Chains A and B, each alone.
Chain A
Amino acid sequence: MDYEGVLVIGEQRGGRVHSVTFELLARGRALADKLGVKLSCVILGHGLQQYAQEIVQRGADTAYVIDDPALEWFLPRTYCNAVVELIEEAKPEVVLAAATTTGRTLMPLVAARLMTGLTADCTGLDIDEKERLLLQTRPAIGGNVMATIKTPVARPQMATVRPKSARPLPADPGRRGEVVVKAYKREAASSASEKMLEFVADATQEVSVQDAEVIVAGGKGLKTRDGFKLVEDLARELGAAVGATRDVVDLGWIGYSHQIGLSGKTVSPKLYVAIGISGTIQHLAGMQTAETIVAINRDKDAQIFKVADFGIVGDLFQVVPEIIEKLQRAKAHKAL
């Protein structure tokens, strides 16, 4: 067979391997075992060799490190050249990457260059054992349906995978694998056409909504920008990311990167706290796969209660401060 094996495209940010890489390894391991083939993982950047062992310990048989100062910052064409070169050499039958902003920028280039298909933002991956094909399942039409896609002929079969849709495997210090450090062959033409200029970490968003285990989100029920501070206060107390409905973003209380729903981000955290959110279909589309949903709303008939595990019907301006106060007390108690 021409194409064999599963390749995971790891992700680094600012010189550190991002945890989504380990989620992809868990996915890749399961697929490789079903196919009876090897799992490899590539990370691209500068000074990342130290991570190769952890990649092996978390499931890879081979860890490729493509190390070059030119790869320190994410630039689509430069990364595409490096990834395509590796794929043409290693010829994996399946390639997985993260459905993060960078993964969703890079992988279409790779797929187009290789003239193959790419399924976006998958939440389920499996193997059709009879046909030996990758089954790529993704939510479509705002999460109302699950579509399963296959790539019958073109190779490799490629998918981006929604972050937080799988748990990483624990690191096994006893696992052995191969580490291959590769050089990047520069291509002058493409590197001249794009350039990274400046990077400033966003101090207002310590955890992005897509990376967060816990999200506290607010809706129009907060009434004013000042009222919305309650959401931020509770988020701070919980070490959570701040989410918002479309209304709140349109009112300018918080930036678009916090918007959750059909025209914003789709999230599946462990815990989603919805405050003053009525629960439009468009909002539910972005958060209904959260593990636990809790809601606080004054209207007992609000749609949000239909998807909530726990709800409080009450005045959020009383309830939320009370929760914050009790949390602070619980924390103080634990600290003793």
Chain B
Amino acid sequence: MRIVVLIKQVPDMEKVKFDREKGVIDRGSAGTEINPFDLNALEAAVQIKEANGAEVVALSMGPPSAENALREAIARGADKGILLSDRRFGGSDVKATATTLAAGVKKIGEFDLILAGMQTVDGDTGQVGSEVAEFLDIPHVCYVEKINEVNDEDIRVTTDIWDSVYEEKVKYPGLLTVTKDINSPRLPSFRGKMSARKAEIPVWGLEALQEYLDETMTGIKGSPTMVKRVEVPPAIKREGRVWRDSVDAGVDEFVEILVGAKVVEAR
């Protein structure tokens, strides 16, 4: 069995500073990490590998520095890392990103399962996984919170859709995007770190993918959407009434607010 895990290197959003004037992230203000949801996808893949035997390939698209994220993926249990990197991939929107990743998967060849995080913490669209599935013409399930059975022909999972327990099965090859509920990612092991240090990370650019991708399908040229403007939203005006000393009076008014908001109804 071969499992491909889609990984994105993102700024550490817990620490990153934000330039309110320019409306951009100050990428120098914090380090980078693997998108937290992708760690859950990787852990799910490694658990399947341990239980059933599998090769786990981490695949990322990004600048040359994203190689570090792939080394970390190997340290956390992946067997290989492959980076899709080319200046002509820059400026890709969801469709162009998914097309490029799908081309990378096609070049990898045979696979049974693709795992990805449900969304990234920087782009936050949650759409890339699904589009990769469509471009590869394979079934997929999003928001997977539990893998119930890994069978020879199919995988049975529970998803978070409809805010309930919704169990589905998909045939291989298939794609799953996972939530944080699915597992607790392990830390890199000593052995993993050793392999990560020695690993060769192939970098595939447009030429390497030419069988599956041309210049019009990726980067800005391959992106149907474009950003028209970015604005810092005006701060929402808040009443800002805070009771510090007279807690009792505060409680009374609180109850009035709750009742006044028509949220308290006689039942």
Contacts of A144 in B (CB 8 A): 18, 20, 23, 232
Question: Which A31-57 residues have a C-beta within 8 angstroms of B?
Answer: none
Can you list 17 pairs linking A and B with CB atoms under 8 Å apart? A74-B166, A104-B127, A108-B98, A112-B130, A121-B124, A136-B225, A144-B18, A144-B232, A194-B139, A202-B164, A208-B163, A257-B160, A282-B13, A308-B238, A311-B241, A323-B254, A327-B255
- Enumerate the 8 nearest inter-chain pairs by beta-carbon distance, A residue then B residue, closest first: A117-B224, A108-B130, A117-B225, A154-B224, A112-B134, A120-B125, A334-B266, A208-B163
Produce 1/0 per residue, B135-167, CB < 8 A to A.
Answer: 100111111010000000000100111111111
Complex Cα–Cα for A77 and B175 (A) = 12
Query: Quick check: is B223 within 8 A (CB to CB) of the other chain?
Result: yes
Q: A102-B162, A117-B93, A193-B139 are in contact. Are A326 and B261 (CB under 8 A)?
A: no
Contacts of A147 in B (CB 8 A): 227, 229-230
Complex Cα–Cα for A278 and B37 (A) = 24
Contact A150 B179 (CB under 8 A): no
Contact A108 B238 (CB under 8 A): no
Complex Cα–Cα for A121 and B228 (A) = 17
**Closest CB of chain A to B193's CB: distance in Å?**
24
Query: Which residue of the partner chain A has the closest CB to B17?
Result: A281
Pick the residue among B14, B226, B247 that contacts A314 (CB under 8 A). B247
Interface size on A, residues (CB 8 A): 101
**Closest CB of chain B to A283's CB: distance in Å?**
11
Contact B164 A201 (CB under 8 A): yes
Contacts of A139 in B (CB 8 A): 233
Question: Which A286-302 residues have a C-beta within 8 angstroms of B?
Answer: 288-289, 292-294, 300
Residues of A within 8 A of B (CB): 13-14, 74-77, 80, 101-102, 104-109, 111-113, 115-121, 135-136, 139-154, 190, 192-202, 205, 208, 211, 213-214, 237-240, 249, 255-257, 259, 262-263, 270-271, 281-282, 288-289, 292-294, 300, 305-314, 318-319, 322-323, 326-327, 330-331, 334-335
Q: A76-B141, A257-B181 are in contact. Are A199 and B254 (CB under 8 A)?
A: no
Q: A198-B165, A205-B163, A312-B243 are in contact. Are A292 and B261 (CB under 8 A)?
A: yes
Complex Cα–Cα for A257 and B161 (A) = 10
Pick the residue among A240, A309, A326 that contacts B255 (CB under 8 A). A326
Contact B258 A271 (CB under 8 A): yes
Contact A240 B263 (CB under 8 A): yes
Contact B181 A256 (CB under 8 A): yes
Question: Which B218-266 residues have a C-beta within 8 angstroms of A?
Answer: 223-233, 236, 238-244, 247-248, 250-255, 257-259, 261, 263-266
